[in-house]
Structure 1
């Protein structure tokens, strides 16, 4: 299933993508579990099977043209949103870029760069390989596909991050890695919008990115949640970032150092992970402008695509 949250004249509703149309699930089968994406997730596997059966019938009276609805973030306000560092190649390149930028301010940039790298300050902390590291993202600042991202006035470095995410479907407590996949409801695309000129100074405070990743719409999710049956192997999906029609990034979900199953097993130790929680992967190699030595401009259209899931498309704008 490719499940979406959409809006029409009747408000927010739960739908499923059926070829080039959308099936209004509650219109096709008005049961409580189809009231919203969170209601469906909470209702459990029997309700998920019922959704599949309803989609299979695809009642013509409940089909809607995509042009007649607005696709929202599949979970407009997740129960919780953690952005994890499960992809580490990106981080190693970012650290090198940070050293380059710091060295550029010195009289002999190359010598300064060599000195900074030799200091070990810009090496990846070994903790990232020992365990799944994360920070709590603002689950109230989620945006969906097709909407403009209004860039904050206090930032001049506009950037994106190409990630994907899993959505928890069943409560998980003290789950083994071997059973962890049973708790995944589905997968979606995540765009970790980043105000780099705000984020970088804050990172040196050792308190996280703060307002550099915390502004209205700064966490893009969508366009759908694809359930596991949509893909043969979730860790072999092509990931691309295309800016104004130019492909900047091409990667693969299989490049994760830690898998979502590792994160679920770790985070559920002596604690319950709840249905509707979202775990971000971290950024794929080459998946942001900072890593590539580039940045976005107002008016740019960013398309993040993950095979078998779809395209998360947004335009960046400035306030007038």
Structure 2
């Protein structure tokens, strides 16, 4: 199951909904908005109505909220109810839910958003040794091996799949980063590594675009990154529940204007997601909707390859089992 946040037009203005991608058009090579989506809230309501439940629309919004963070706050129960809703829609072919809500949206009938258009928080680690070694001229500080280091990004700068990114005018060196992000689904504090997996709702593709020139300058002051990262964070196209993907072995590819630049897997992580969650949650509470990046795979960015994105470049990050996240950058 691939979960999506999407936007549709209504007589009272655009609204966001939670959906699941279905049929062949929802393949890993599909671009933003190329899949048929089932509105999971409407589908669950239709299933309740068929069973004769009173107030099915209200009950559906409680079981399968149409907003991603509220959905995640219900934990595994929401995932199970979403699966039931998707199964009902597939088996019955029902077209309308309670109050006439539409169950299916075809490409062109919706706008795909990031799965979490505004995460609760955004952290990005640097957990893959090859990337660190390549980026630091072969010198890795001992502390990097001691515990997972990370920075906190800007959750208000998430960009939708397919969105064109206006590069900030203070930067002339444009770069991408090939990553996977874990999305927290269960609140927790002081979480031991052996229990961390149950706190992960699922995974998505992550591209923390990097203004390499300003990033290099500001980090000479031993703080940051800040302006080098905070202008654009790509998430999507889908959020895949943790039990639906073997995230460690999922092949990852970055293509720039159709040419393969990077390949890898997060099986290369020195610190696992479980270890990262244990570290981050020490005396700090994690909440549903928190996003934690894996860090870039080895040779997963232009900095390591000695080449940069250009004005008009389209970068596509593909992770098998999740999908392809594409953006075009312009000066």
Q: TM-score, normalised by structure 1?
A: 0.88
Q: Please state how far the C-alpha of 1:57 moved relative to its aligned partner.
A: 1.5
Question: Per the alignment, in what secondary structure is the counterpart of residue 228 of structure 2?
Answer: helix
Matching residue within 225, 228, 236 for 1:209: 225
Q: Which residue does the alignment assign to 1:178? A: 194
What is the rounded CA distance, in whole Å, between the counterparts of 1:55 and 1:87 in structure 2?
A: 36
Q: Which residue does the alignment assign to 1:145? A: 161
Q: Which residue does the alignment assign to 1:51? A: 82
Matching of residues 1-12 of structure 1 within 5 Å: 1-10=1-10, 11-12=15-16
Q: Which residue does the alignment assign to 2:117? A: 76
Q: TM-score, normalised by structure 2?
A: 0.85
Q: Please state how far the C-alpha of 1:68 moved relative to its aligned partner.
A: 1.8
Q: Please state how far the C-alpha of 1:38 moved relative to its aligned partner.
A: 0.9
What is the rounded CA distance, in whole Å, between the counterparts of 1:291 and 1:275 in structure 2?
A: 33
Matching of residues 79-228 of structure 1 within 5 Å: 79-96=120-137, 123-215=139-231, 218-228=232-242
Q: Does the 8 Å contact 1:82/1:278 carry over to 2? A: yes
Q: Does the 8 Å contact 2:204/2:237 carry over to 1? A: yes
Q: Please state how far the C-alpha of 1:230 moved relative to its aligned partner.
A: 1.8
What is the rounded CA distance, in whole Å, between the counterparts of 2:280 and 2:135 in structure 1?
A: 26
Matching of residues 235-314 of structure 1 within 5 Å: 235-314=248-327
Matching residue within 7, 14, 19 for 2:18: 14
Q: Which residue does the alignment assign to 1:24? A: 39
Question: Per the alignment, in what secondary structure is the counterpart of residue 83 of structure 1?
Answer: strand
Deviations 1:170-222 (A, max 9, x none): 0122221111101100000110101111111111100112211112xx11100
Q: Which residue does the alignment assign to 1:104? A: none
CA RMSD of aligned residues (A): 1.2
Question: Per the alignment, in what secondary structure is the counterpart of residue 263 of structure 2?
Answer: strand
Question: Per the alignment, in what secondary structure is the counterpart of residue 236 of structure 1?
Answer: coil
Question: Per the alignment, in what secondary structure is the counterpart of residue 250 of structure 1?
Answer: strand
Q: Please state how far the C-alpha of 1:271 moved relative to its aligned partner.
A: 2.3
Q: Please state how far the C-alpha of 1:262 moved relative to its aligned partner.
A: 0.5
What is the rounded CA distance, in whole Å, between the counterparts of 1:311 and 1:243 in structure 2?
A: 12
Matching residue within 58, 71, 77 for 1:40: 71
Question: Per the alignment, in what secondary structure is the counterpart of residue 295 of structure 2?
Answer: coil
Q: Please state how far the C-alpha of 1:34 moved relative to its aligned partner.
A: 2.2
Q: Please state how far the C-alpha of 1:79 moved relative to its aligned partner.
A: 0.5
Question: Per the alignment, in what secondary structure is the counterpart of residue 225 of structure 1?
Answer: strand
Q: Please state how far the C-alpha of 1:60 moved relative to its aligned partner.
A: 4.2
User: 2:105 matched to 1:64?
Assistant: yes
